[in-house]
Structures are given as C-alpha cells and as structure tokens.
Amino acid sequence: MKRDLLTILDLSTEEIDALLRRADRLKKQWRQGTLRPTLAGKTLALLFDKPSTRTRVSFQVAMYQLGGQVVVLTAQETQLSRDESLADTARVLSRYLDGLVVRTFADARIEELARYAKIPVINGLTDLYHPCQVLSDLMTVREKKGDLTGLHVAWVGDGNNVAHSWINAAARLPIRLVLACPPGYEPRQEILERAQALAPYEIRLCRDPAEAVAGAHVINTDVWASMGQEQEREVRLKEFCGYQVDGSLLRRARPDAIVLHCLPAHRGEEISDEVMDGPNSAIFDQAENRLHFQRALLDWLLGGDGVRG
C-alpha cells in the first residue's frame, strides 16, 4: 500500500525515528562514496506552484544520487492550467511515475492529488505545512544536540506552515515547543489543540520572544510574509516589530543554543546578520541536510532497499 507524506502526523514516532536513522546512514554512505543506486529505474515528478530553491534542487539531486530520474513541472505548464481535474491528473501521473512531490497553495489540492494517486505523494510545502523541512531540521538538531529528549525548541515569529510542522513534530516527539507570535499571527487553533492533545511534552504559545527563548536549546524563525502573502508584507513588517532573532534575544537562550531558519531569509527583518552568520547558527548545515533527508525519504517511500545496511 502506498504511503503519502502530507503532514508529519502521517508518520508514527517510530517511523520518524527510523527515517532519521536512515537519513544518517545514507549521509554516511554519501560521505564515504558508497551510496547505492537503490532507485534505479524509478521516476519522481516535482509539481510546483510556488518558487523553490532548496526543496526542488535537493529532491532532484537526491533522486539522481540514488540512480533515479526526475521530471520537473509547474501546474501552469500542465493541463491543470486548462481545468483538467486534480483527480484525473493524479490518475494519469500514477501510470508514469513512482512518486510525486507537490508544492502548492491550499492543502485541499495536495489532499485531492493524494486521494486519487496510486503513488506516494509528498508535501513539498503548502499553505499549512512543510513537513520535509521540519523532518530534516530534526536531523540537524539530532546531529548538533544528540538525543532529542527534553530539548526546548523555541519558535519566534509567524505561526505559519513551518511552525505548524514543528507543532506536529512536537505531537510525536519528546521535545518542548514554545512559540512566540504577535497577535493575529498565531498558529491555527485546531492544529495547536490537536497536537497538544497528543504531545508527550509541552507545546505552548506566548507573546514575548524573550519568554519563548529563555533557556532554549534551539531557536527557530522564518520569514514574516510567506509565499502568497506578498501583499501583506508592509503591514507585517510593522506587526512583527520586536520579533527579530538578534544577538540580544539569542543571549537569553542557552550559550550553546543553535539557531535554525529554513531559508530563504530576509536578513535584517526576522533575523540579524550577526545571528545568521554567528557561531550559534546551524542554518547552512540545516540547508545541506535537506538533501540528506530527502534521500532517505525517497528511498523509503519509493521502495529502495536502503533499509538494509
């Protein structure tokens, strides 16, 4: 039976752990030059309605490194732009492909594709979630901090798609998550409450970034206006005043705290140059791990035999 990854809640705690261990193992093989072509003969398509640098390139390269092929599409250049239904598109693409990564706006679109596709559908970012980002961020946190158990993760800024995926991660994993968001920019109530009901540790929302990061092991932030919200940018710049991750905020966290940002960043807005380029920043290692994580995800979902070894 095919598996999709639309949100982190599609995975059990054990599956997340196994996936992260597979990612570590394949990263080691990559370093040693011993990766095997476990996806030879398989083809992945990327169907993207929003721009992308990291997600697109890391999925492409991961697929190539495992011996597979990639087709890159935008909805605009397919018959979706001329009203072919998502259901029929999914039915047809399933006859050609072994997997589909979708980056789009409304989550209902990817849910519909997944419902009719006979192949795994992977969320490469939607308005509500960015699961592959946060799963690879967990890989980075484990590399830097060892065991995840009891880590205090802070989120500062918009309660957006990446924040929602951190909330879902905290529903499955033994981390404490404290989010500081300005009024009106909190995560969706239903996403928060569902995760709080499942979470082994605390998931808490507050207003004050200083409170969220006090004693934190990990500080996370993201842009104040996500893709699709460009027209709100000027208003948001004002509303998010005081939510920048800068040196003085960082000093409230543990001295060895790591700072994460999924990128692209707006330096001088949600994060200062000093923090982004400073010793606590794990941001470029984090970006690299997108590649290492995608490899493991594809190997698992598209049926490579990387499970061995």
For residue 125, the minimal CB distance to ligand CP (Å) is 6
Active site residue 222: yes
Q: Which of residues 107-136 bind ligand CP (CB under 6 A)?
A: 125, 133
Q: 10 Å Cβ neighbour count for 277?
A: 12
> Stretches 97-105, 159-167, 192-200, 246-254: which one binds ligand NVA (CB under 6 A)?
159-167
Is 262 a known active-site residue?
yes
Q: Pick the binder of ligand NVA from 160, 286, 289, 294 (CB under 6 A).
A: 160
Q: Quick one: which segment of 28-36, 77-85, 148-156, 157-165 binds ligand NVA (CB under 6 A)? A: 157-165
Per-residue mark of binding to ligand NVA, 118-137 (x: CB under 6 A): -------x------------
* Residue 103 known to be catalytic: yes
Based on CB atoms, which residue is closest to ligand NVA, 156 or 223?
223
Residues with active-site annotation: 103, 130, 133, 222, 262, 290
- Contacts with ligand CP by CB under 6 A lie at 52-56, 125, 133, 262-263
The residues of the shown chain that bind ligand NVA, judged by CB under 6 A, are 125, 160-162, 222-223, 226-227, 262
